[in-house]
Chain A
Amino acid sequence: AQSVTQLGSHVSVSEGALVLLRCNYSSSVPPYLFWYVQYPNQGLQLLLKYTSAATLVKGINGFEAEFKKSETSFHLTKPSAHMSDAAEYFCAVSIMEYGNKLVFGAGTILRVKS
């Protein structure tokens, strides 16, 4: 069965600093990988997705993630944090043959300090 581990339930960065949110996955078959963002009292918004094309994936709001099969990782980065990036971020994995259900990590709350 597939699973996702997000290292660090809370991450705090200064405005303008690098954002790095870590995600490791476990899957017996090539996965599809996703990052979602959730603002308070809202649903989930897709940031980016990896579906076996380019290993470096660019998403919205300046975020990107790199799929590293050897490390089973899909870390999310942004060169310069903005106050509006403060939210909760979820990494998720899905397997096509399992009907595309998503298995989510526990989430990482990003705090951006001014």
Chain B
Amino acid sequence: DAGVTQSPTHLIKTRGQQVTLRCSPKSGHDTVSWYQQALGQGPQFIFQYYEEEERQRGNFPDRFSGHQFPNYSSELNVNALLLGDSALYLCASRQTDNTGELFFGEGSRLTVL
């Protein structure tokens, strides 16, 4: 049983560019969340998707957007990249009726130069 898979694992962008990160949830999971983990900090909630809609959003600007597909996979898009967007981006999935347990992928490490 594959867990949560993310791609790419590493990428480098320059300021002002756009990036798309991808996530496939664990089998049987229908809810996907994205977290940003800056160096030396705990993960911060970006948003959550269920039934192809954004259900909840953290304190992130509109430059951060997402999408969920009918197969429950998800994308995170960041426009107009800033140096401060450099971080590990973690995708997590769960079943909607689960008591909060999230399963995390290994993350996509974004470096903005």
In the assembled complex, the CB of A103 is this many whole angstroms from the nearest CB of chain B, namely 7
A98 touches B42 (CB 8 A): no
* Residues in chain B near residue A90, CB distance under 8 A: 42-43
Q: Flag A56-67 by CB within 8 Å of B: 1 or 0 each.
A: 000000000000
Do A43 and B4 have beta carbons less than 8 Å apart?
Answer: yes
Once the chains bind, are B90 and A43 in contact (CB under 8 Å)?
yes
Interface size class of A (residues with CB under 8 A): 20 to 34
* Chain B residues whose CB sits within 8 angstroms of the CB of A106 once the complex forms: 40-42
Q: Which residues of A contact B90 (CB under 8 A)?
A: 43-44
B94: interface (CB < 8 Å): yes
* Residue A69 is within 8 A (CB to CB) of chain B in the complex: no
Given contacts A43-B106, A90-B43, 9 further A-B contacts (CB under 8 A): A43-B104, A44-B90, A44-B104, A46-B102, A49-B99, A49-B100, A94-B100, A104-B44, A106-B42
